[in-house]
Amino acid sequence: MDQIPLWAQIGAVFVLLICSSFFSISETAMMALNRHRLKHLANQGALGAKTTQKLLGRTDLLLTVILIGNNLFNTIIPVLTTSIALRTFGHDNLVLSIATGLVAFLIIVFAEITPKIVGATFPEKIALPASLLIAPLMRVTKPVVWFVNQFANGVLRLLHINTSKGRDLRLSTDELRTIVLESGSFMPTKHRSILMNLFDLENITVDDVMIPRRRIEALDFEAPLEEILHQLETCYHNKLIVYQGDIDRVLGVLHVRKTLSALHNQELERETLRELLAEPYFVPTGTPVFQQLQYFQESRHRIALVVNEYGEMEGLVTPEDIIEELIGEFTTTMPRSGAGRGGWNEDGECIVPGSMPLRELNRWLHLTLPTDGPKTLNGLILEVLEEIPEGDVCLQIGDVKLEVLRSDDQAVRTVKLFKPGAKPRASTLKIAKMRLPGR
Q: What is the CATH number of the domain that holds 410?
A: 3.30.465.10
Distance CA 341, CA 186 (A): 32
Q: How confident is the model at residue 24 (pLDDT cuts 50, 70, 90)?
A: very high
Verify that 319 and 358 share a domain, yes or no: no
* CATH classification at residue 232: 3.10.580.10
At residue 236, the pLDDT reads 83
- The DSSP call for residue 110 is I
| Strand boundaries in 218-281, DSSP class E | 218-220, 239-244, 246-255, 277-278
- CA–CA–CA angle 167, 169, 174 (5° rounding): 135
pLDDT tens for 239-287 read 999 999 888 999 999 998 888 887 776 777 888 888 889 999 999 998 9
Number of folded domains that form the chain = 3
Do 162 and 16 belong to one domain? yes
- Are 266 and 401 members of one domain? no
List C-alpha distances in Å: 309 to 214, 285, 306, 313: 19, 8, 10, 10
Lowest mean pLDDT among 20-34, 141-155, 177-191, 302-316: 177-191
Alpha-carbon torsion 219, 225, 226, 232, what sign?
A: positive
Q: Which amino acid is at 289?
A: V
pLDDT of the residue at 126: 92
| The predicted structure's pLDDT at residue 439 | 46
Asked if residue 74 belongs to a domain, the reply is yes
Show Cβ contacts of residue 270 under 8 Å, excluding neighbours closer than 6 positions.
221, 225
What single-letter amino acid sits at 250?
A: V
The answer to whether residue 193 is domain-embedded is no
Mean pLDDT on 99-106: 87
Reference 253, options 236, 238, 231, 234; nearest CA is: 238
Both 233 and 378 in one domain: the answer is: no
- Whether residue 103 sits in one domain with residue 18: yes
Q: Pick the more confident residue, 26 or 388.
A: 26
> Do 120 and 40 share a structural domain?
yes
Distance CA(36)–CA(126), nearest Å, equals: 17
* pLDDT score at 168: 56
Residue 339 has pLDDT above 70, yes or no: no
In a domain, 172, yes or no: no
Residue ending a domain, choose from 297, 327, 357: 327
Greatest Cα pair distance in the chain: 119
- The answer as to whether 1 is a domain residue is no
Does the residue 280 lie in any domain? yes
Rounded CA gap, 72 and 56, in Å?
22
Q: What is the pLDDT of residue 242?
A: 93
Local confidence band at 143 (pLDDT 50, 70, 90 cut-offs): confident
Q: Parallel, antiparallel, or unpaired for β 277-278 and 246-255?
A: antiparallel
Domain housing 68: 6-166
Which secondary structure element, helix H or strand E, spans residue 192, and what is its range? helix 189-201
Side-chain half-sphere exposure of 417, counting CA atoms within 13 A: 29
Average pLDDT over residues 400-429: 79
Q: What would the DSSP string read from start to end of 117-159?
A: HHHHHSHHHHHHHHHHHHHHHHHHTHHHHHHHHHHHHHHHHHT
Highest mean pLDDT among 7-11, 359-363, 395-399: 395-399
Residue type, 437: P
Please check whether residues 12 and 161 belong to one and the same domain: yes
Q: Report phi then psi at 144, rounded to 5.
A: -65, -45
Residues 16 and 134 in one domain: yes
**Same structural domain for residues 39 and 146?**
yes
pLDDT tens for 114-123 read 999 999 999 9
Dist CA 253 CA 170 (whole Å):
45
How far is residue 70's CA from residue 19's CA, in Å, rounded to a whole number? 8
What is the mean pLDDT of the segment spanning 319-343?
Answer: 65
At 172 the three-state DSSP class reads coil
Name which of 318-322, 362-366, 379-383 the model is least confident about. 362-366
Contacts of 148 (CB under 8 A, 6+ apart): 64, 68
The model's confidence at residue 169, banded by pLDDT at 50, 70 and 90, is low
- Beta-bridged to residue 315, according to DSSP, are 212, 306
pLDDT category, 185, cuts 50, 70, 90? low
Phi, psi of 283 (to 5 degrees): -135, 145
Query: Which pTM value belongs to this model?
Result: 0.57
**What does pLDDT average to over the chain?**
83
Within-domain flag for 150: yes
160 versus 331: the higher-pLDDT residue is 160
313 in the same domain as 361:
no
Q: Is the dihedral of CA 366, 372, 378, 380 positive or negative?
A: negative
Mean pLDDT of 19-32: 91
Give a yes or no: residue 201 inside a domain: no
313 in a domain, yes or no?
yes
C-alpha to C-alpha distance for 295 and 308, rounded to whole angstroms: 18
Calpha distance 217→236 (Å, rounded):
8
For residues 151 and 212, membership in a common domain is answered with no
C-alpha 211/C-alpha 305 separation (Å) is 10
Residues 49 and 156 in one domain: yes
Q: Are 318 and 300 in contact (CB under 8 A)?
A: no
